[in-house]
Copies of this chain bind each other. A is one copy, B any other.
């Protein structure tokens, strides 16, 4: 028992049993000495385990002093989708401590949801289903006056991280012309992915479908403002699934109301959406409550990712499944660990 590496498990605000299947938990406990701070533990469990821990599963505050006491620490595996500013990354990196997040756990779920939203607003699926509930459905061509194909269309992707990379192969069979705006990536990286690098304004002017995958940084606040939304061609379809602050929702509203644009929206400036939010009455929008990523299959993959990477780290190999914090980027993130339901859905 004493030979197994010590791992501290403190997943809050996530919950152990949502992110670990029984088999993943058994694998974790079989390979490691798990100090489970979610279960019943003496008050000093953290302090006494810290100097012996090879790894921490969770996102506790880790200042330089705390890191200094974690003499054997080699990795912090947060079980959320983003990196948070409650770690002294400089102190961790100087020690060679890996800081990992599980954003990739949500990528497939978000990408599938995004494609589903895009096809929905391309064809009015939710809108006509709503109409049918009121006996007002329209048949054949009458219900299709503004329907468009995805095949062969111009598609814009804003932000080409995990989400963009997960979506791209799903678009390929539609033979689209894909433009990507990502100021953090050289053009060559995008061309290797068979997409066209583009400025943001050019992307908006050209695209019938736009997927907004940008994360929140100082520069991306209201990246889509009234001026930029006006660049979109009539009938454009907008899929918003990353973070609400990157779009000016008050500028978007009249574009949807007028029927000029269509949108599928999963993230909102305020959640829950206020009862009197005017978006609730707009016809050209599909409303979703921050559900793109947080599905059971995604949650359960987190535990597997954690155990897989812990095994690699224990074997002296680099982690292969979670996303490692980049020293250059950590200071740019504005995320913070959050409580309750919301926590699973912040994504990069």
Interface residues of A (CB under 8 A from B): 18, 90, 93-94, 96, 108-109, 112-113, 115-117, 119-120, 122-126, 128-130, 132-133, 135, 137-145, 147-151, 169-170, 172-175, 184-186, 188-189, 194, 264, 271-273, 275, 280-281, 286-291, 294-297, 299, 304-305, 308-309, 311-313, 316-318, 320-321, 326-329, 341-342, 344-345
Contact = CB atoms under 8 A, between A and B. Distances in A.
Please indicate which of the listed interface residues A119, A122, A316 has the most CB atoms of chain B within 10 Å of its own CB.
Answer: A119
Contacts of A132: 273, 280, 287-289
B140 A342 contact: yes
Given A271-B139, A295-B144, A128 B280 contact: no
Contact of A317 (B117, B138, B264, B328): B328
A271 B139 CA distance: 8
B96 A290 contact: no
Given A119-B115, A304-B188, A133 B318 contact: no
A320 B186 contact: yes
Contacts of A289: 128, 132, 137-140, 143
Given A94-B96, A280-B132, A297-B148, A328 B318 contact: yes
A1 B113 CA distance: 50
A149 B291 contact: no
Contacts of A96: 90, 93-94, 327
A144 B291 contact: yes
A208 to B, nearest CB: 12
B341 A294 contact: no
Contact of A130 (B129, B304, B328): B129
Query: How many subunits of this chain does the assembly comprise?
Result: 4
A144 B289 CA distance: 10
A112 B153 CA distance: 13
Contact of A149 (B112, B120, B143, B312): B112
A328 B316 contact: yes
A6 B129 CA distance: 46
Contacts of A273: 132, 137
30 contacts: A18-B141, A108-B151, A112-B119, A113-B125, A115-B115, A120-B126, A123-B291, A124-B291, A126-B126, A126-B129, A126-B130, A128-B291, A129-B288, A133-B287, A135-B280, A138-B291, A140-B289, A140-B341, A140-B344, A141-B295, A141-B299, A142-B341, A143-B291, A144-B291, A172-B173, A175-B194, A186-B308, A186-B312, A188-B305, A312-B328
A235 to B, nearest CB: 11
A245 B5 CA distance: 34
Given A113-B123, A143-B291, A318-B326, 4 more contacts: A129-B130, A140-B342, A141-B296, A189-B308
A96 B132 CA distance: 47
A286 B173 contact: no
Contacts of A311: 186
B130 A120 contact: no
Contact of A147 (B140, B186, B291, B328): B291
Nearest to A89: B96
A130 B18 CA distance: 28
A123 B150 CA distance: 20
Nearest to A115: B119
